[in-house]
A and B are shown apart, each in its own frame.
Chain A
Amino acid sequence: MTTAPVLHLDNIVKTFPGVRALDGVSFSVLPGEVHALMGENGAGKSTLMKVLGGIYQPDGGDIYMGDTKVTMSGPLEAKAMGIVFIHQELSLAEELSVAENIYLGELPRKSFGRVDWATLTAQTNAILKKLNVGFDAKTRVGDLSIANQQMVEIARALTVDAKAVIFDEPTASLTDAEKVVLFDVIADLKADGVGIIYISHRMEEIFKITDRISILRDGQYQGTVVTAETNEEAVTQMMIGRKLDLSRNAAHHDLGAVALEVRGLSCGALYQDVSFEVRRGEVVGFYGLVGAGRTEIAETLFGLRDPSAGQILLDGEEVRLHSPADAIALGISLVPEDRKGQGLILGMNCRDNMTLPQVDDLKAGPFVAEGAEIAIFDQYRDRLDIRTPSWKQRVGNLSGGNQQKIVIGKWLSMHPNVLIVDEPTRGIDVGSKSEIHKLLRELAAQGYAVIVISSEMPEVLHVSDRIVAMYSGRITRTFTSDEVTEDNLIQAISGIKPGHAA
């Protein structure tokens, strides 16, 4: 190929005190190419992106755009050169309209500094039309779904003459249908000759939409492979040097008594007439699209939402849960979806986070028994293989995988009757992911009743003994791990009746 790459990195080095965050990273992005950047958390992806965005200056190496060597002295310079970022966390003004957000800071003007609304609306609608979205320039951004807000970010990227667009985990909070729209947009950008860097942990997506994959491990460039000529296993191998097992769960062990039974549970418009049971020794997976009501059921079981009808039975006895404190007292634990927002106090140390729910019970006279706390921490650090120099480390300084293990350890140390895990591996690197999957299986084998809510089908298939499929607030079907297939599961969560599939 003779086309000059839109972006070429040559031997980029970036060091921080004590760490070589990037150690000789080189790769090129061609025009019209979707180039995946993969690596475990801490592999150096974020640092590399900050170098590209002009936030960090590299200590060595060169960046070329086309044939010219460039220096990104700051975010504005990077943008001016046509490097655009679509971040995982959105940065939009919710109270303003779509058009105002897209052209924020560059609103078209008439005389006396008045905004030229006609031009603004026309320009915006032209871009939105290109993206084929179902909202217009005047819509308030706060009224849009997360997926549509992301489209606004993309539209903003399109207003500059983008040469390279970098997507950072763009599908983290999208439903399957919304992903399709995103991938169409990426295909359009590609057709326009834009170079795309696509960062994601999700293998399915990587193999679906990318042309080449570059892999980083511990700040070192591992190589670039052509997507069509490789497979998930090989890429994973390059990322972690070991294999990720995502086969179907085939393990069967003896089930115990019913730990949790839910009868006809409803919560207003969120979900209706939900009934299921979870036995000791069993992992029940809840699968469905975002908005299907899965998280809301978990929140009800954890006392965060009062149901409008129905019963919850623990070990055969009906219980009423009005707060997480009630639920915890009855042995129900929730590893929440939003690790940083709901699961952890980032400024607190590891030990204190882990023992927080039982701090009232660990007493030495009037004080907290710190020795007992450290003992609990040590036990679960070893059992879950939590990598931290000491219990004194602030949780905010740990990697995503280790943070999630702290949350899991927090609840395991309480020996819950029912453990609910919502999105167990969101934003976690491949290595930790497989460890957490293994752990969930082990917990079931030890007799815990486990509920796993996940938006990732391979994960649900891999960890669950039974799978509850939800569509629009209702359970559409419950599968055993023998009868489930990808096809019938997709039908069940899309509201398609079996036998009437398109």
Chain B
Amino acid sequence: MATLTKQRIGSVLAKQGILIAFAVFMIAFTIANPKFLSVDNLFSVVRSSAILGVMALGVTFVVISGNLDLSVGSMMSFSTIVVLDLHDKIGPLLAIPAMFAMTLGLGAFIGFLVGYLRLNSLIVTLGMLSAIHGLTLTYSGGQNMDIADKEGTWFSAFGQGTALGVPVPILIFIAVAVFLGAVLSKTAFGRKVYAVGGNGTAATFSGIRRARTVFTCYLISAACVATAGLIQASRSMGSQNTVGQGLELEVLAAVILGGASLLGGSGTIFKAVIGVLILGFIQNGLLLLGLQFYVQFVVTWVIIILAVWLDIAAKRGKLWSPIA
């Protein structure tokens, strides 16, 4: 029976590896800097994670459907610049829906390429990362965008407001998470997303229209990006063209940390939220330890590798598994 216990411990370690690693991080950070666990700090981590978090919710759909979305960072820059520009031209009430429509247009274009033309999503969204960046710069002429009259508009509510003592970005994050969580786990569409990502051929053989399902996932991702762009624009009331640069990797890190498989077919919204929080706390903890902000770029990558490794190790049942 000794082997049995050992096996159990092994499988628990492999399955919950990420949560265990997170707990170790948290304890280490708290010992290093007691401020880490303060209510103020926790609140600030969640608030600063909201933008990343909303984007991760959308990308979760894309990843479960068996695809990637690396365009979300530059798409977020685009929506931020567009909404800030239009704010002063046509007013916030029209600027927001106009920005959503344009961002969804980009999502629809990607969805068309990946879903209907069946192009590889890595290539398409990597290309779109660059193309949308170019589009943003063309739109803005390379200039930073600023809202002229920062005091005389209600536009700041999305990024800076509070309701019932809770910052609005957090409320938006929670609302979108609850809504998309229900869509993914409770609706027929959600079921189809899992089916398409789990085994696309079998999904087709069950009468599921795969192209439509994948297309819709990219629309959802774009809608989340637009929402994140709105929060970002409202928080800063002005922006550079590169505000979302590199976020695609952090979003992907959060989604993978949450245990969604890059092969598709598995993952949940709840776990994605956990992934976002883990990433947020780790980055925050590193700052509190006095490490430079730039270290985060390295850390994000390390986290992705670690998460993928643990995920694979859990499936294989062992950490060390060289090719042949």
Residue positions of A touching B, CB distance < 8 A? 17, 302, 304, 323-325, 327-329, 334, 336, 341-348, 352, 356-357, 359-360, 362-363, 366-368, 410
Q: How far, in whole Å, are A17 and B204 apart by their CA atoms in the complex?
A: 37
Q: CB-CB < 8 A to A410: which residues of B?
A: 206
Query: What is the bound-complex CA distance between A334 and B204, given in angstroms?
Result: 11
Contacting A334 at CB < 8 Å: which of B198, B199, B205, B208? B205
**Chain A residues near B198 (CB, 8 Å)?**
345-348
- Cβ proximity bits B254-267 to A, threshold 8 Å, 1 near / 0 not: 00000000000110
Q: How far is the CB of A242 from chain B (nearest CB, A)?
A: 32
B191 interface residue per 8 A CB criterion: yes
Stretch of B89-97, B150-158, B180-188 that contacts chain A: B180-188
Q: Which residues of A contact B199 (CB under 8 A)?
A: 341, 344-347
Interface centre among A304, A329, A346, A347 (most CB of B within 10 A): A347
Kindly identify, within residues 190 to 236 of chain B, every residue whose CB is under 8 Å from any CB belonging to chain A: 191-192, 194-195, 198-199, 201-209
Please report the C-alpha to C-alpha distance between residue A347 and residue B199 in the assembled complex, in whole angstroms: 9
Chain A to chain B: the 5 pairs with minimum beta-carbon distance, closest first:
A328-B207, A345-B198, A367-B186, A325-B207, A356-B206
CA distance A390 to B20 in the complex (A): 30
Q: Tell me whether B16 is interfacial, beta carbon within 8 Å.
A: no
- For the A-B complex with A343-B205, A366-B187 known, give 4 more contacts whose Cβ atoms are closer than 8 Å: A344-B199, A345-B199, A348-B194, A356-B195
By a CB distance below 8 angstroms, the chain A residues around B7 are 17
Q: Is B117's beta carbon under 8 Å from chain A?
A: no
In the complex, which of the residues B182, B191, B204, B206 has the most CB atoms of chain A within 10 Å of its own CB atom? B206
Pair B265/A368 contact, Cβ less than 8 Å: no
Q: In the complex, which residues of chain A have a beta carbon less than 8 angstroms from the beta carbon of B188?
A: 359-360, 362-363, 368
Question: Please, which residue of chain A has its CB at the minimum distance from the CB of B3?
Answer: A17
A345 to B199, CA, bound (A): 5
Residue of A323, A343, A368 touching B202 (CB-CB under 8 A):
A343
Shortest CB distance A50–B (Å): 15
Cross-interface CB contact of B207 among A342, A345, A357, cutoff 8 Å: A357
**B-side interface mostly:** helix
Min C-beta distance of A356 to chain B, whole Å: 4
Q: When the two chains form their complex, are residues A342 and B201 in contact, meaning their CB atoms are under 8 A apart?
A: yes
Quick check: is B163 within 8 A (CB to CB) of the other chain?
no
Task: Tell me, yes or no, whether B39 is within 8 Å of chain A by CB.
Answer: no
Report the bound CA distance from A368 to B182 in whole Å: 11
Task: Out of B191, B208, B209, name the residue touching A352 (CB < 8 Å).
Answer: B191
Whether a CB of chain A sits under 8 angstroms from the CB of B4 is yes
Question: Quick check: B207 and A368 within 8 Å, CB to CB?
Answer: no
Q: Flag if A345 contacts B186 (CB, 8 Å).
A: no
Residues on B lying within 8 angstroms of A by beta carbon are 4, 7, 182, 186-188, 191-192, 194-195, 198-199, 201-209, 265-266
Most chain A beta carbons < 10 A, residue from B195, B199, B201: B199
Question: Whole-angstrom distance from the CB of B269 to the nearest CB of chain A?
Answer: 15
Cβ 8 A contact of A342, one of B195, B202, B266: B202
Q: Which residues of B contact A17 (CB under 8 A)?
A: 4, 7
Question: With A324-B207, A325-B207, A325-B209 known to touch, is A345 a contact of B195 (CB < 8 Å)?
Answer: yes
Bound CA–CA A456/B192 (angstroms): 35
CB-defined contacts of B187 to chain A, threshold 8 Å: 366-368
A359 to B206 CA separation, bound complex (whole angstroms): 10
Of B182, B202, B209, the residue contacting A345 (CB under 8 A) is B202
B262 to chain A, nearest CB (A): 14
Closest to A334 in B: B205
B191 pairs with A345, CB closer than 8 A: no
The answer to whether B266 and A347 touch across the interface, beta carbons within 8 angstroms, is yes
Q: What are 15 of the A-B contact pairs (CB < 8 Å)?
A: A17-B4, A304-B205, A324-B207, A329-B207, A341-B199, A342-B205, A343-B205, A345-B194, A345-B203, A346-B199, A347-B198, A347-B199, A356-B203, A356-B206, A368-B186
A68 CA to B217 CA, complexed, in Å = 62
Neighbouring B residues of A343 by C-beta, 8 Å: 202, 205
Alpha-carbon separation in the docked complex, A347 to B194 (Å): 9
CA of A302 to CA of B207, assembled, Å: 10
B266 CB contacts on chain A under 8 angstroms: 347
Chain B residue with minimal CB distance to A302? B205
Q: Measured between C-beta atoms, what is the minimum distance from B164 to chain A in Å? A: 27
Cβ contact of A336, chosen from B192, B194, B205, B209, cutoff 8 A = B205
Enumerate chain A residues within 8 angstroms of B207, measured Cβ to Cβ.
323-325, 327-329, 357
Determine which of B4, B182, B194, B204 lies in contact with A324 in the assembled complex, contact meaning CB atoms within 8 Å: B204
**Min C-beta distance of B181 to chain A, whole Å:** 12
CB distance from A96 to the nearest CB of B (A): 16
Q: How far is the CA of A327 from the CA of B198 in the complex (A)?
A: 22
Report A404 CB to chain B, min CB distance, Å.
13
> How far is B195's CA from A360's CA once the two chains are assembled, in angstroms?
13
Q: Provide the residues of chain A in CB contact with B205, threshold 8 Å.
A: 302, 304, 324, 334, 336, 342-343
Contact partners of B202 in chain A: CB under 8 A: 341-345
How far in angstroms is the closest Cβ of chain A from B146? Answer: 41
| B100 shortest CB reach to chain A, Å | 22
Chain B contacts of A359 at CB under 8 A? 188, 191-192
B192 / chain A contacts, CB cutoff of 8 Å? 359
A366 to B186 Cα, complex, angstroms: 8
Question: Please, which residue of chain A has its CB at the minimum distance from the CB of B324?
Answer: A105
- Distance A347 CA – B204 CA, assembled complex (angstroms): 16
CB distance from B207 to the nearest CB of A (A): 4
Interchain nearest-CB distance for A20 vs B (Å): 14
Residue on B nearest A410 in the bound complex, by CB: B206
Distance from A434 Cβ to chain B, minimum over Cβ atoms (Å): 26
Output the nearest chain B residue to A368 by Cβ-Cβ distance: B188
CA A328 to CA B205, docked complex, whole Å: 10
